[in-house]
Amino acid sequence: MALSQAATRGWYLVHKWTSLVCTLFLLMFCLTGLPLIFAHEIDEATRAPVLAAPPAGARLDLDKVATAAVAELPGWKMLYLTWDEDKPLLYVTVGPTYDASPAQMKYQLFDARSGTRIETPPLDEGVMAFILDLHANLLLGLPGQLFLGLTGVVFLVAVVSGVVVYAPFMRKLRFGTVRKDRSRRLKWLDTHNMVGIVTLGWVAVVGLTGFIITMTVPITMIWQADQLGEMSAPYAHARPPERLASIDKAVATVRAAAPNARVSFVAWPGTTYSTKHHYMVALAGNTPLTARLINPAMVDAETGRLTDLRQMPLYMKALFLSAPLHFGDYGGLPLKIIWALLDIAAIVVLVSGLYLWLGKRRTPLNRRVAELRTGGALEPAE
């Protein structure tokens, strides 16, 4: 059903102002997101650690790794162990307290075959770390992350309003038409609309997954109150363990209970993904999709006994799947190249939209709305 002139005017204004509000932030997202798509390849080319052959008979002992990680940091705590998906590498996170903020944490690298420490530049420093921090939170931590989440909502409104306003207009032209024989502004408008429609699906997916990622803290807090609260309920009146059980044996216990799963990471008691009484051993699948999902296995940190093993709720699964989908990290390099091309196309849409707004417009708003309704017959003046 065709929109009335008043409705068209309303949607046009919604699209115009929501687009303007978020354009500069979206341009920053696209520019910083382009190298982040290839973050793995860039790291491989610039700072990949050299792995020596492990000594004969070497065996990974997680207890020794945990001891070595904090040996030079008196009073510090082990927080997380994370296994690399592609290489025999073990990422270790330590902090001054179990509830340390990301800014307080330190990161180390160990050989996952022998437990030998690997000397590398700091994992949270360098150009790519700066770009990721800028992309994720404007260098402002959680407040910046939540602000960008709000920007994502405005952006999704801009996408929907753009479709409502321009879809009826674009039906009056052959798909992909750019009227080169008309004014320069009209050519830019056709280019903006055509590229915007072509990239619509990708833009919506990236925008939605980006919004979900910015909601990581609230979503995780819901999980802590919900599922994690259920798993810790039997320990409600128990004191936190004074001495922790062997993490090596805890992981072995979980592997024996779920032999077909892959251990993705381990969280120490008192950290975000665990309770004050448990190790959380995260189990992942072996396919490109299930490798991004984890199921928590809870091990009593005092006795080493497996107490619970369950699947994550749907909202946590959506969170874990959003990051790789946001950066096109599912199908290897070919998919990343496609993501990069679509990212460049989105930059074209943003720049052309900015040009159309910044350029001098002598055509009144009512005349521009009439142009949308009549298929561009009323050409804007140069």
Res 299: pLDDT = 97
Please name the helix (run of DSSP H) or strand (run of DSSP E) that holds residue 109, with its range, or none: strand 106-111
Report the candidate in 342, 329, 382 with the shortest Cα–Cα distance to residue 39. 329
Contacts of 23 (CB under 8 A, 6+ apart): 350, 353, 354
The pLDDT-based confidence of 96 (bands split at 50, 70, 90) is: very high
Residue 381 has pLDDT above 60, yes or no: no
pLDDT(35) > 70: yes
| SS3 of residue 102 by DSSP | helix
pLDDT of 118 over the 80 cut: yes
* Separation CA 207–CA 203 (nearest Å): 6
Average pLDDT, the chain: 86
SS (H, E, C) 199-239: CHHHHHHHHHHHHHHHCHHHHHHHHHHHHHHHHHHHHCCCC
The structure tokens 């700091």 sit at 122
Per-residue model confidence (pLDDT) at position 379? 43
pLDDT for residue 362 is more than 70: no
Evaluate if residue 375 carries a pLDDT over 70.
no
Domain boundaries, the chain: 1-47+121-382, 48-120
Reported confidence tier of residue 300, pLDDT bands at 50, 70, 90 = very high
Q: Would you state the pLDDT for residue 365?
A: 58
Q: What is the pLDDT of residues 317-333, one digit of tens each?
A: 999 999 989 998 877 89
